[in-house]
């Protein structure tokens, strides 16, 4: 056992606290997915309740393999491929908008021929934009306050990607836009320019609302209005939130116990968008606080990485990918507790998922790659060139 732990420490580089936090998230995921997919298993898999547990397990294992491979690479490799990823993301989003698979009245997925699974292009676009923005901010540090040479190259990528994501997935677009604002703030972009970007985003959103009146099948305007109406005028927040709050209330302080959830039979997307409510129902307030502590712990570790990184690109990458991960988690929890309108974002690394978990693992692998070289630079072994 001692030898195994020693070998594990040798193989897993970077911030080991982050490795532990991610591992705990996946453990919570397997418990939550197994419990919350009971009804789905009977509906889709003929009562095979182990199907989604095994599927989630394989996806997590594959995701950890990708994370391991990426964390062994030097993070500056992503500096080189960022423009290529950004260029690929734009036609992918356009294709999704025009020809994507419609699931739950949202056209967010591309179906992969022959293989038979769907791919959410916005997840790829989010990674591509964050890496591209990190590259641009880090390369412009010497004149980051200049409008023409520094800020203009940051405006168009953000507006284009978020504008293409928003018609079918407004919550992801807003999450990504907020992440970009955070990256610019950390990257020392002038506040007046950031406010200018916010103004441009408001104008772009107004255009989307106008397009929604003429192309209701493409822009989910009716869904946006309904969710805002439910949040502002309905004290229960609509059926989904009502069932979520019942689940949380059932949990009490210690919970009903593993596998004892009642609301999993009534709550739509209990295994995805509302898995936090099921976890609280079964493991109580203590379980809910434990999940929150995992994301808070991750936030503090990435904040530490940002402050310790001597390379601008590494700091920007960790800011973008790490903050996006944490923002998404707390938006999901806020939805389950009726603090914000219902969105379509999942609880990262915990909700049932395919491409979302893989893309999160890619992001985490890059973060761990940065942490590996940050740690080595503290003992004088980081040979990375300054970016």
The segment with the largest mean pLDDT, out of 8-12, 150-154, 317-321, is: 317-321
Task: Look at 374 and 385; give whichever has higher pLDDT.
Answer: 374
The whole-number pLDDT of residue 6 equals 58
Query: How, if at all, do strands 101-103 and 118-120 pair?
Result: unpaired
302, 351 contact by CB (below 8 A)? no
CA–CA dist 339, 277 (Å, integer): 13
∠ at Cα 106 (40, 113), nearest 5°? 80
> pLDDT tens for residues 191-231?
888 898 899 999 998 998 888 877 777 777 778 888 888 88
Q: Is the pLDDT of residue 7 over 60?
A: no
The whole-number pLDDT of residue 384 equals 40
Q: Is the pLDDT of residue 51 over 80?
A: yes
Instruction: Tally Cβ neighbours within 10 Å of residue 58.
Output: 10
Side-chain half-sphere of 325: how many Cα atoms within 13 Å? 35
Nearest Cα to 35, choosing from 244, 256, 230? 256
| Gyration radius of the chain's alpha carbons | 21
Instruction: Tally Cβ neighbours within 10 Å of residue 379.
Output: 7
The whole-number pLDDT of residue 380 equals 47
Mean pLDDT of the chain: 87
The whole-number pLDDT of residue 303 equals 94
Instruction: Indicate the pLDDT class of residue 56, thresholds 50, 70 and 90.
Output: very high
> pLDDT tens for residues 83-132?
999 999 999 999 988 887 776 666 777 877 666 677 889 999 999 999 99
- What is the token pair recorded at 28? 């919570």
**Start-to-end CA span in the chain (Å):** 41
What is the enclosing helix (H) or strand (E) of 26?
A: helix 16-36
Q: What's the average model confidence in pLDDT over 379-383?
A: 44
Q: What's the average model confidence in pLDDT over 173-177?
A: 94
> pLDDT tens for residues 59-73?
999 999 999 999 999
Q: b/e for 250-263, b at 16 or more Cβ within 10 A?
A: bbeeebbeeeebeb
| Weakest-pLDDT range from 17-21, 38-42, 157-161 | 38-42
Instruction: Indicate the pLDDT class of residue 10, thresholds 50, 70 and 90.
Output: low
69, 92 contact by CB (below 8 A)? no
The whole-number pLDDT of residue 255 equals 92
Domain ranges within the chain, ordered by starting residue: 31-72+234-379, 78-219
The whole-number pLDDT of residue 140 equals 85
Q: Is the pLDDT of residue 268 over 60?
A: yes
123, 359 contact by CB (below 8 A)? yes
The whole-number pLDDT of residue 81 equals 95
The whole-number pLDDT of residue 382 equals 40
**DSSP character for 119?**
E
SS3 167: coil
Q: Is the pLDDT of residue 35 over 80?
A: yes
What is the enclosing helix (H) or strand (E) of 116?
A: none
Rounded to the nearest 10 degrees, how much is the dihedral formed by the CA atoms of 138, 144, 148, 152? 50
**DSSP character for 386?**
P
363, 125 contact by CB (below 8 A)? no
363, 327 contact by CB (below 8 A)? no
The whole-number pLDDT of residue 3 equals 56
Nearest Cα to 366, choosing from 70, 64, 10? 70
> pLDDT tens for residues 337-363?
999 998 889 999 999 988 899 999 999
Number of residues that this document lists for the chain: 387
């Amino acid at each position: 056992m001692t030898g195994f732990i020693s070998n594990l420490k040798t193989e897993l580089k970077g911030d080991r606290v982050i490795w532990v936090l991610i591992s705990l998230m996946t453990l919570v995921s397997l418990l939550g997915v197994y419990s919350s997919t009971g009804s789905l298993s009977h509906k889709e898999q003929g009562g095979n309740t182990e199907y989604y547990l095994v599927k989630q397990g394989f996806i997590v294992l594959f995701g950890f393999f990708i994370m391991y491979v990426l964390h062994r690479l030097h993070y500056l490799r992503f500096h080189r491929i960022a423009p290529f990823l950004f260029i690929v993301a734009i036609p992918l989003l356009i294709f999704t908008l025009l020809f994507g698979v419609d699931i739950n009245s949202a056209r967010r997925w591309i179906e992969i021929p022959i293989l038979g699974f769907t791919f959410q292009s916005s997840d790829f676009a989010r990674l591509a934009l964050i890496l591209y923005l990190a590259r641009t901010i880090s390369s412009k540090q010497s004149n980051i306050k200049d409008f023409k040479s520094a800020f203009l190259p940051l405006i168009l990528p953000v507006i284009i990607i978020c504008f293409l994501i928003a018609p079918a997935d407004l919550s992801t677009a807003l999450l990504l836009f907020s992440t970009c604002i955070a990256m610019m703030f950390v990257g020392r972009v002038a506040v007046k320019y950031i406010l200018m970007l916010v103004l441009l985003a408001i104008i772009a959103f107004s255009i989307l609302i106008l397009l929604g009146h003429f192309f209701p099948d493409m822009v989910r305007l009716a869904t946006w209005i309904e969710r805002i109406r439910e949040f502002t005028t309905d004290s229960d927040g609509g059926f989904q939130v009502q069932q979520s709050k019942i689940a949380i209330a059932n949990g009490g302080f210690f919970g009903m116990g593993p596998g004892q959830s009642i609301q999993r039979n009534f709550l739509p997307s209990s295994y995805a968008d509302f898995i936090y409510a099921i976890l609280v129902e079964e493991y109580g307030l203590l379980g809910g606080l434990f999940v929150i502590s995992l994301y808070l712990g991750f936030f503090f570790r990435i904040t530490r990485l940002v402050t310790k990184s001597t390379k601008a690109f590494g700091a920007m990458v960790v800011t973008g990918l790490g903050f996006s991960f944490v923002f998404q988690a707390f938006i999901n929890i806020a939805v389950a507790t009726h603090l914000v309108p219902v969105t379509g974002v999942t609880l990262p690394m915990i909700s049932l998922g395919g491409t979302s978990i893989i893309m999160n693992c890619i992001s985490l692998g890059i973060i761990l790659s940065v942490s590996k070289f940050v740690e080595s630079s503290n003992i004088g072994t980081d040979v990375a060139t300054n970016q």
